[in-house]
Amino acid sequence: DTDTPVSAFESSLVLVSNRQPYSHRYEDDEIVVDRPVGGLTAGLDPVMQQVDGTWIAWGDGDADAEVTDDNDCVRVPPEDPSYTLRRVWLSDEAVDEYYYGYSNQVLWPLCHDLVGKTNFEDRFWSRYQEVNEQFADAVVEQADEESVVWFQDYHLALAPSHAREALPETTLFQFWHIPWPTWDTFRVCPHREELLGGLLANDLIGFHTERYVENFLACVDACFEAATVDTDSGEVEYDGETTLVRAFPLGVDAERIGELAGEREETFWPEFKREYSIPDDSRVAVGVDRLDYTKGIPERLDALEELFETRPEWRERLTYVQKSTESRSDISEYQRLQSAVDERIERLNERFATESWRPVVRIEEHLTNPELYGLYAHSDLALVTPVRDGMNLVAKEYVAAQADDDTKDGVLVLSRMTGAHGELGDTAVTIEPYDAPELAGQIEEALTMPDHERKRRMDALRASVLENDLDTWLASLLGTVQGLRRMSTQDTDD
Ligand code: GDG
């Protein structure tokens, strides 16, 4: 395959995701628009603007219906309309059962190998099927034989097979952002055949790592006697369809992150430290997570408690900044996690705080990109300790933000259980998240690492993150799709 930059992409692109890039809502009587601020949605928005495609997503804003035409479409961005956003309407019960239910209480824990946290309810599954059909119907209306349809993530495992029935020649592909588990785990799911069958209607399925590709292929092999699986080429033949399964490790917009990290360079850090009462002579470790039980936050706090207890010399000399975003808090597992995190932070601060210092500073409000990247740039350590994580973009953003010669000496402490570890594990400080005493030791090791060693490691990390950035990911994914498309048009012409 040849890589294809977005500008050279030839087909009309239909992107399908649960979350929408622009949400219209009422503020008093005015309609205001929320726009993408970070993560993948922000990365894909310029792509859609460039190719003038169609983005299909759940319309979750209370004014979304007000601005759409008869086909549920609106042109975005509002100030410079350059592509079509089509909304799929979901009732509150549908969101509860398809999104909070099947997606986040079945597929999320299952794929993160946390079978004990799954909650298989029949109504979740029926609704997941129904909503996936709804998304597929919208795809069928927006796409034709010439289109390329790109499904995002685990909310939409069944949509490809429904779309395929009406669009036999259209190129369909999917990127799965979370891990794929082993067969021993996946077989627990009573809907394993339907899920795998749904995904195999795609011409291409992308995962973050080779490991997830291997796991997926092994699941297909074990589940379907009728499937032919070629583990070397990643090709599956099943039910008259050929699907290519490949690893495409997602990257970040590293150059831009480096630039934004340096905005307000002179004033940012002293002001930030003043605002959050971080003493001037304290080192700073940072953690940035959605409040999710996969991210290893209680485990990390336990290690910090161990550190401050067994090595009191670090008291007042290290401050841990936890940027956490509330997430999925309608689900009881997430409420339990919140209490577990709250309790630990309170305990740490009660046990060790002094008049001028708190061991843990918790930030719950949203930080702008320059603020977040500035925080990364000035933090001495990043603690990325998930118990399981598809990729983890925070690890890559931290490295990308260490762009200035003066700040280029941070240490990345990275769990082996993240997708990012595959690329960055050699030069990051590798940890296993569950062992608090060991992790405490590794945090100390990172804190005491000699200057030249820190710089050497950061240089190597930066080379990797800059080379495998968001554009590289897009070009490689789109290049593979374009290659498949050319092959299939040739077959039809012959
Ligand atoms: C899923 C997979 C995979 C957080 N707080 C603020 C803020 N953030 C941004 C971070 C980062 C993003 O949120 C979180 O991304 P992660 O990759 O860490 O994790 P998930 O949300 O679980 O994402 C994961 C990812 O999909 C992509 O495929 O890597 O494995 O679980 O970008 O920067 N951004 C700003 N302010 C905040 O306060 N601006």
Query: For 232-273, what is each residue's pLDDT tens digit?
Result: 999 999 999 999 999 999 999 999 999 999 987 779 999 999
High-pLDDT (> 90) share of the chain, %: 91
- Angle between helical axes of 254-261 and 393-401 (0-180°, round to 10): 50
- Which two tokens mark 302? 């336990």
pLDDT digits (tens, 9 = 90+) for 138-182: 999 999 999 999 999 999 999 999 999 999 999 999 999 999 999
* Ligand 1 in reach of 63 Cβ (< 6 A): no
Decide if 404 contacts 392 (C-beta within 8 A): no
* Ligand 1 in reach of 311 Cβ (< 6 A): no
CA proximity to 85, closest of 112, 45, 56, 105: 56
Give pLDDT, residue 162: 98
How wide is the angle at C-alpha 296 spanned by C-alphas 343 and 319, nearest 5°? 65
Give pLDDT, residue 7: 87
Rounded CA gap, 307 and 314, in Å? 8
* Ligand 1 in reach of 119 Cβ (< 6 A): no
Q: Which residue has the tokens 């240490």?
A: 411
Find the 166 Cα to ligand 1 centroid distance in Å: 35
> Which element (helix H / strand E) includes 275?
helix 265-275
Decide if 3 contacts 471 (C-beta within 8 A): no
* Ligand 1 in reach of 49 Cβ (< 6 A): no
Rounded CA gap, 96 and 241, in Å? 33
Give pLDDT, residue 494: 60
Rounded CA gap, 296 and 287, in Å? 10
For CA atoms 83, 476, 385, 433, the dihedral sign is positive
DSSP string for residues in 205-225: EEESSHHHHHHHHHHHHHH-T
Rounded CA gap, 215 and 222, in Å? 11
0.95 exceeded by pTM:
yes
What residues of the chain score a pLDDT lower than 70? 1, 492-494
* Ligand 1 in reach of 177 Cβ (< 6 A): yes
Give pLDDT, residue 493: 63
Tell me whether strands 360-363 and 381-384 are parallel, antiparallel or unpaired: unpaired
Rounded CA gap, 393 and 379, in Å? 17
CA proximity to 438, closest of 299, 235, 336: 299
Give pLDDT, residue 159: 98
CA proximity to 344, closest of 300, 381, 279, 311: 300
Rounded CA gap, 158 and 347, in Å? 45
- b/e sequence 158-169, b meaning 16+ C-beta within 10 Å: bbbbbbbeebee
* Ligand 1 in reach of 290 Cβ (< 6 A): yes
Decide if 318 contacts 283 (C-beta within 8 A): yes
* Ligand 1 in reach of 396 Cβ (< 6 A): no
Find the 40 Cα to ligand 1 centroid distance in Å: 8
Residue to probe by mutation, ligand 1, list 112, 150, 151, 288, most atoms within 8 Å of CB: 288
